[in-house]
Amino acid sequence: MSEVMERFLRYVSYDTQSEDDAEEMPSTKKQLVLGKLLRDELKQMGAENVRMDEHGYVYAAIPGNAQKPVPALGFIAHMDTAPAFSGTGVKPQIVENYDGSDICLNRELDIWLRTKEFPELSGYAGQTLITTDGTTLLGADDKAGVAEIMTMASYLLNHPETEHGPVLIAFTPDEEVGRGADLFDVKGFGADVAYTVDGGALGELEYENFNAASGKVVIHGCNIHPGTAKGKMKNALLVAMEFEAMLPSDEKPMYTEGYEGFFHLDSMSGCVEEAKMDYIIRDHDKKKFEAKKVLFSQAAAYLNHKYGEGTVEAVVTDSYYNMKEKIASHMYLIDKAKACMEKLGITPIITPIRGGTDGARLSYMGLPCPNLCTGGHNFHGKYEYIPAESMEKVTRLLVEIASSFVDLA
């Protein structure tokens, strides 16, 4: 068994599910258990300045061995798994020499990984696939990234003949609840630039993501007995429906793809007296993003004009921005990753992310940080799987990128 696969199987046995709406960080204490293991393993393999802070961030350094000054390069992965699906008692199944047909994940529960639903599966015929047993997620997101970075680190430390600049490593908690960058110590990390290793299929390389905002709408109605309501009742639910109807009906997640942005009504509750709606607003293009926010506020203003000031409160808060703006002046990060992929026979797949990454937020915190593939598929659920060969290739890719940075000196 390859080192990266052996590491991966060890790391997924730790339940590190994070939790929404927790006050503390990490959101779940169990993430610290994996953090400690990684810290100890990094120390053991001879990495320097290895530390874990009280919030669960693990940092380490591999000093450069090149003869010239090379930019300090970081690799980052997250330790937690998604709150959306159980990560307790993960029992990976190993399908050796996969024959390209449907895979039974759980005979008793009749759960199958079918090529009809996931046509890319048959492309992995002949490889070793790691799947779930159908009752949990696998945790390749992002323990594959963790295992790949760890294996790269052990390779560099054991192969001093491979020239490289300073390589920094960080593992973060709580990425899946959107907080992985919150307490990241960019300065202490010490990297000039970095990659998150948190993407999907082999070859994925991402440096564009949404500009994102949340919109909270509260509508204040006025409840009167319906029998005597004429001219008096203000039904918050109906005003809420009117608000929604003022947003472009085709700019919704189910009608958009690629670079198309959207308004998404995520939750709605209420009664005649008061209604609440939670939206997210997304667009890759900064101008279109700003225009969407303006439209959102104008809808509220119109309804206030119609029904009286104070009827609709709409608060828009920016969440994160497209990292492209920050990567633009560091495009060599993309060119290098692409060239290294091609050298290893990996076809680069460059697509805009229809979401955000910790790297996007780190880019705005001063650490330009595109996203590299892990090799995994179907994250956040029971159909998650990863080919061992993809993990091995990504590991080689990380080593290749680290050593290619010597050319930047």
Residue 82 makes CB contacts below 8 A (sequence gap 6+) with: 17, 18, 137, 141, 176, 379, 380
Closest approach of Zn ion to the CB of residue 170, in Å: 14
Q: What is the three-class DSSP state of 63? A: coil
Q: Out of 41, 133, 141, 208, which residue is the one contacting Zn ion (CB under 5 A)?
A: 141
- Binding-site size for Zn ion (CB under 5 A) equals 3
CA distance 234 to 274: 10
Q: Out of 41, 174, 198, 392, which residue is the one contacting Zn ion (CB under 5 A)?
A: 198
Contact segment (CB under 5 A) with Zn ion among 47-55, 57-65, 196-204, 380-388 equals 196-204
Closest approach of Zn ion to the CB of residue 96, in Å: 26
The DSSP bridge partners found for residue 77 are 171
Nearer to Zn ion by Cβ, of 356 and 387: the residue is: 356
Closest approach of Zn ion to the CB of residue 198, in Å: 4
- For this structure, is 102 an active site residue? no
Residue 148 makes CB contacts below 8 A (sequence gap 6+) with: 4, 77, 197, 374, 391, 394, 395, 398
Nearer to Zn ion by Cβ, of 197 and 401: the residue is: 197
The secondary structure of 34-49 as a DSSP string is HHHHHHHHHHHTT-EE
Closest approach of Zn ion to the CB of residue 78, in Å: 6
Nearer to Zn ion by Cβ, of 220 and 380: the residue is: 380
DSSP state of 159: -
Nearer to Zn ion by Cβ, of 239 and 391: the residue is: 391
CB 60 within 8 A of CB 49: yes
CA torsion through residues 171, 172, 174, 176, sign:
negative
CA distance 393 to 387: 10
Nearer to Zn ion by Cβ, of 139 and 165: the residue is: 139
Catalytic residue among 41, 175, 208, 251: 175
Residue 403 makes CB contacts below 8 A (sequence gap 6+) with: 162, 163, 164
| Contact flags string 147-186 toward Zn ion, x per CB under 5 A | ----------------------------------------
Q: How far is CA 161 from the centre of its chain?
A: 34
Closest approach of Zn ion to the CB of residue 251, in Å: 27
CA distance 12 to 114: 23
Contact segment (CB under 5 A) with Zn ion among 11-19, 84-92, 141-149, 155-163 equals 141-149
Contact segment (CB under 5 A) with Zn ion among 116-124, 198-206, 241-249, 313-321 equals 198-206
Residue that has been written with the tokens 């082999």 in this structure: 202
Closest approach of Zn ion to the CB of residue 175, in Å: 6
358 is a contact residue toward Zn ion (CB under 5 A): no
CA distance 174 to 194: 19
Residue 87 makes CB contacts below 8 A (sequence gap 6+) with: 15, 16, 17, 81, 136, 137, 139
Q: Out of 142, 148, 358, 384, which residue is the one contacting Zn ion (CB under 5 A)?
A: 142
- For this structure, is 175 an active site residue? yes
Catalytic residue among 80, 204, 283, 384: 80
* Residue 150 host element (H or E): helix 140-158
| Contact flags string 83-122 toward Zn ion, x per CB under 5 A | ----------------------------------------
Contact segment (CB under 5 A) with Zn ion among 192-200, 208-216, 255-263, 346-354 equals 192-200
Give contact residues for Zn ion (rule: CB under 5 A).
Answer: 141-142, 198
Active-site residue list: 80, 175
